Amino acid sequence: MSVDNKSNHLERRDFLKGLSTVPIVGLLGLAVQRQKSFEKKQREALLGAKKEVDPNLKELNIALLGAGAQGEVLRNAILKIPGIRFKAVCDIWTEYALKKNVNVLKKYKFDVNGYEDYREMLDKEKDLDAVVIATPDFWHARHAIACMKAGLHVYCEKEMSTNLEDARKMVETARETGKLLQIGHQRRSHPKYIHSYDKIIQESGMLGRIVTSYGQWNRGAAEDLGWPSRLEIPKAQLEKYGFKNMHQYRNWRWFKGLGGGPIVDLGSHQIDIFSWFLGAQPTSVTASGGMDYYPKDKHEWYDTVMAIFEYETEQGSSRAYYQTQTTNGSQGYFEKFMGDQGTLVISESGSLGSVYREATAPAWDKWVNMGYIEAAVLQEQKAEPDVVLDVRETISPDQHIIPVKLYDPYHQPHLENFFNAVRGQGKLNCPGEIGYETAVAVLKVNQAIEAKRRLTFDPKEFVI
């Protein structure tokens, strides 16, 4: 579906421009009116685009289970995908997340029912094809398993679970029921990542032998999430769903048994890319981490983690350093693969994606001519000023931009891959087995921090 983003952007700009030219009196009313008109146009664009849908496309009935921050991101991406009909939303925050999402979907003309309890939803909604799960990690296994057993295909957010036993059961259930289980490592379907793996790493071998890799997710210091007191969930209801109180409910990712802290929350996306691009699972991990910054009575997981993974790839030994810290957002998040002939720097974020040739490597004209990379941009004219690389000593000053961009929301291609697979068109890019391998690698980082020593992986650990 091609929603006219340009006209939406114009509308947004007009909206802001309009605000600057009217007197303050009535500003709010005008703003609300224009916002409504913007939303109406956006809905019309989406609905209009839906009319152009291929009549042979099988419509899929879906439910959204977990309608918090990520549930909304997925919902918005799904709204851009043709042939998907929302039938139900389930969320325990009935007065806020549930109400809000049901209302939004009704505005998009979906006849949706809202539920607090997923079991009731599964009992009542008998014509669902699939469910999209975006609940906290410790609920994933129960939700995914119940949904697959009820006959639904499942798109489940990462991390599969807070423990490997439950993650394993998810894969086993997918196998037993024959239902699809896609895990939300969405970079696996991102065209820039697919191009980088297929063309830059594999086919051209442009980077040469990758001996070291690096990844980071640096986030600035932030307050814990709060909530308006009028929307507080009653304690008994919170406890029924495994949360001690509102603070823990809102900030579950910081608590043991509920989430895995930033290394799991953020790191798993990028440690997944290490395994994919290196074509190997790690053989060991050494890590240091601590609760260095945030008050210890508010969080349970490490706010700062630095980890070193070792790999035996087809090319030989390889090491990857990964860090996530939550007190300084310097350079955000990206991954970097350093071969003896070149360096790939890539991120899901924005347009970041370039290759830098080592000064001693053969020319890359062939790959430029084949369209795998763009012609070199001299460092002084760099198109991506946010990439700070010290290129002066060992690599040529040339930056080659990867000519593949994603203009859709980040999660859309991964959701499309899932829905296509449900229709029997193609295979999942991140089935439960891959999600499991990543969970094995990532969950061991926290164990290595606790053990204060290098932990090894038995290759059998990655296999179900």
Ligand X SMILES: NC(=O)c1ccc[n+]([C@@H]2O[C@H](COP(=O)([O-])OP(=O)(O)OC[C@H]3O[C@@H](n4cnc5c(N)ncnc54)[C@H](O)[C@@H]3O)[C@@H](O)[C@H]2O)c1
Residue (222 or 463) nearer to ligand X, CB: 222
Residue (139 or 372) nearer to ligand X, CB: 139
Q: Judged by CB under 6 A, does residue 136 bind ligand X?
A: yes
- Residue 187 Cβ vs ligand X, minimum distance, rounded to whole Å: 9
308: left (phi over 0), alpha (psi -120 to 50) or beta: beta
Cβ partners under 8 Å of residue 175, min gap 6: none
- Residue 265 Cβ vs ligand X, minimum distance, rounded to whole Å: 6
Residue (71 or 261) nearer to ligand X, CB: 71
Residue (251 or 325) nearer to ligand X, CB: 251
- Residue 68 Cβ vs ligand X, minimum distance, rounded to whole Å: 2
- Residue 269 Cβ vs ligand X, minimum distance, rounded to whole Å: 7
- Residue 422 Cβ vs ligand X, minimum distance, rounded to whole Å: 19
Distance CA 292, CA 303 (A): 7
DSSP state letters, 212-276: EEEEEEE----PPP---GGGPPPHHHHHHTT-SSHHHHHTGGGSBTTB-HHHHHTHHHHHHHHHH
- Residue 119 Cβ vs ligand X, minimum distance, rounded to whole Å: 10
- Residue 93 Cβ vs ligand X, minimum distance, rounded to whole Å: 4
Site for ligand X in 86-125 (CB under 6 A): 90-93, 97, 118
Residue (69 or 375) nearer to ligand X, CB: 69
Distance CA 28, CA 25 (A): 8
Sheet holding 377-378, edge to edge: 377-378, 395-401, 353-358, 342-346, 333-339, 210-218, 316-325, 304-313, 282-290, 455-456
**Could you give the C-alpha distances from 5 to 33, 42, 106, in angstroms and in order?**
20, 9, 22
Distance CA 123, CA 139 (A): 19
Residue (66 or 267) nearer to ligand X, CB: 66
- Residue 75 Cβ vs ligand X, minimum distance, rounded to whole Å: 11
Cβ partners under 8 Å of residue 110, min gap 6: 85, 86, 87
Among 78, 121, 134, 449, binds ligand X (CB under 6 A): 134
Q: How many residues comprise the chain?
A: 464
Q: Judged by CB under 6 A, does residue 66 bind ligand X?
A: yes
Distance CA 89, CA 231 (A): 19
Given a contact cutoff of 8 angstroms between Cβ atoms, the answer to whether 175 and 154 are in contact is no
**Which listed range, 24-32, 133-141, 216-224, 351-359, lies at the site for ligand X (CB under 6 A)?**
133-141
User: Of 347, 376, 345, which is closest to residue 359 (Cα–Cα)?
Assistant: 376
Site for ligand X in 142-161 (CB under 6 A): 157-159
**Which listed range, 60-68, 121-129, 165-173, 215-223, lies at the site for ligand X (CB under 6 A)?**
60-68
Q: Which residue type occupies 423?
A: R
Q: Judged by CB under 6 A, does residue 166 bind ligand X?
A: no
Distance CA 413, CA 185 (A): 11
Helix (H) or strand (E) holding 146: helix 137-149
DSSP code of residue 43: H
Residue (96 or 110) nearer to ligand X, CB: 96
Residue (342 or 353) nearer to ligand X, CB: 353
Tokens of 156: 């489940």
Site for ligand X in 257-286 (CB under 6 A): 265
Among 241, 374, 420, 433, binds ligand X (CB under 6 A): 241
Given a contact cutoff of 8 angstroms between Cβ atoms, the answer to whether 128 and 146 are in contact is no
**Which listed range, 22-30, 131-139, 171-179, 447-455, lies at the site for ligand X (CB under 6 A)?**
131-139
DSSP code of residue 198: I
Among 171, 177, 184, 391, binds ligand X (CB under 6 A): 184
Residue (195 or 269) nearer to ligand X, CB: 269
Count the residues of the shown chain that bind ligand X, applying the rule CB under 6 A.
Answer: 25
Q: Judged by CB under 6 A, does residue 137 bind ligand X?
A: yes
- Residue 214 Cβ vs ligand X, minimum distance, rounded to whole Å: 20
Q: Judged by CB under 6 A, does residue 138 bind ligand X?
A: no
Q: Judged by CB under 6 A, does residue 70 bind ligand X?
A: yes
Given a contact cutoff of 8 angstroms between Cβ atoms, the answer to whether 66 and 91 are in contact is yes
**Could you give the C-alpha distances from 364 to 51, 134, 199, 369, in angstroms and in order?**
46, 43, 13, 9
- Residue 381 Cβ vs ligand X, minimum distance, rounded to whole Å: 33
- Residue 446 Cβ vs ligand X, minimum distance, rounded to whole Å: 15
Q: Judged by CB under 6 A, does residue 186 bind ligand X?
A: yes
Q: Judged by CB under 6 A, does residue 333 bind ligand X?
A: no
- Residue 235 Cβ vs ligand X, minimum distance, rounded to whole Å: 15
Distance CA 193, CA 190 (A): 5
Residue (156 or 280) nearer to ligand X, CB: 156
Cis peptide before 159 (omega within 30 of 0): yes
Q: Which residue sits closest to ligand X, CB atoms considered?
A: 68
Chain contacts with ligand X (rule: CB under 6 A): 65-71, 90-93, 97, 118, 134-137, 139, 157-159, 184, 186, 241, 265
